[in-house]
Amino acid sequence: MQLNALELQGYRNYDSVKLATEGGVNIFIGPNAQGKTNLLEAIHVLSLTKSHRTSKDKELIGWDQKAAIIRAGMTRKLGDVSLELQLSAQGKKAKVNGLEQRKLSSFVGTLNVVLFAPEDLDIVKGAPSVRRRFMDMEIGQVHPGYLYDMQQYQKILQQRNNYLKSTDIHRASPHMLEVWNEQLATTGVKMMKKRKNFIIQLQKWAEKIHAGITGGNEHFTVEYKPSFGTAAGMDNQELSSLFGQFMIKLTQGKEQEFRRGTTLTGPHRDDLSFAINGKDVQSFGSQGQQRTAALSLKLAELELMHEEIGEYPLLLLDDVLSELDQTRQTQLIETFQSRVQTFITTTGLESVNMNRLKDASIFHVRDGRLLR
């Protein structure tokens, strides 16, 4: 998979810019707040129709602009593809090869990316919400239907939470709550099964990559931690059985949920745990071990996507090389070199191990403009 051309109109601080990208490695260099990250964000938005930095699409539209447009030409193994995504106050319009897509889920997955930013180093030690988002974004690219399930789940969850907050338990309608419970559980179990399968695949690659980075001295494991039951028990469990457990948990927790005004069970409460040689990395791992674990996860994503879709995604490295020591940086570069088209942002080349990079194209970014 290769991005050949990128065009932005009215996107953040770019009034209009066209970029002919190269195969291999493309480096965007310049001071902070000039628009380097905006370029990578635009590629990410073109992949998933949403930003990794904000949930508000209006923030992606430039000042005094009515709409933001992202266009790209790319090559996949089956041929060339053109993409266009328009963001405005009226919503999103997406086109593939000039044909408007009725559903955004038909657009997602055409361009696949793996993004690695400094905040991703918090996947291991950060809040559970960071790890849930990590799962959601990656599963959604290879299984676009998952994003639809997730959006439906969030709508139902919000309605149910609003009801819990606004209604006294003694005045609540059992029928109304039962309807929301059934809808929440029906959509939630689909998400849980896909998350479980994703982590099984990710674990296979992350374990192998981590062993390579540490010279075989560390054994790395990733475990899915659902909000109820155990992930181990989900392996051969039918959706109907999982649905039943979900409904029971919702019923059992009704009084506490009304007191707190929020839903306490479901995928929105799931988490991941990481262990090195059997010890929890979040609690007992050194900073170096936590960073190696995060790096292993990101490199595993590349291999998992390659396994799923038959070609490597784009790799977006947003100012992350300066956060890695020489050993980890070298491991990262050697992994993507000559296999994965990569886009890197940095404030200076002194933070990049240029001796390891071959034929990198360098673009200078200044106030929403690109210079070779």
Task: Provide DSSP, 108-148.
Answer: TTSS-EEEE-GGGGHHHHS-HHHHHHHHHHHHHHH-HHHHH
CA pair distance 106, 94, nearest whole angstrom: 9
Beta-carbon count within 10 A of 81 CB: 16
Task: Write the CA distances from 29 to 126, 198, 302, 314, integer angstroms.
Answer: 28, 35, 24, 19
32 annotated among ligand-binding-site residues: yes
Q: Which amino acid is at 109?
A: G
Question: In which region does residue 196 sit, left (phi positive, over 0), alpha (psi from -120 to 50) or beta (all else)?
Answer: alpha
208 annotated among ligand-binding-site residues: no
CA pair distance 304, 138, nearest whole angstrom: 10
31 annotated among ligand-binding-site residues: yes
CA pair distance 272, 126, nearest whole angstrom: 11
CA pair distance 44, 177, nearest whole angstrom: 38
Task: Write the CA distances from 42 to 2, 36, 94, integer angstroms.
Answer: 15, 10, 14
CA pair distance 68, 2, nearest whole angstrom: 23
41 with 53: CB under 8 angstroms? Answer: yes
346 annotated among ligand-binding-site residues: no
Facing residues of 221 across strands? Answer: 275
Among the listed residues 342, 326, 343, the one whose alpha carbon sits nearest the alpha carbon of residue 291: 326
Q: Which amino acid is at 352?
A: V
CA torsion, points 145, 146, 147, 150, in degrees to nearest 10? 130
Extract the tokens encoding 178: 């039962």
CA pair distance 232, 335, nearest whole angstrom: 31
133 with 117: CB under 8 angstroms? Answer: no
337 annotated among ligand-binding-site residues: no
34 annotated among ligand-binding-site residues: yes
The binding site for ATP comprises 30-37
Residue list, annotated binding site: 30-37
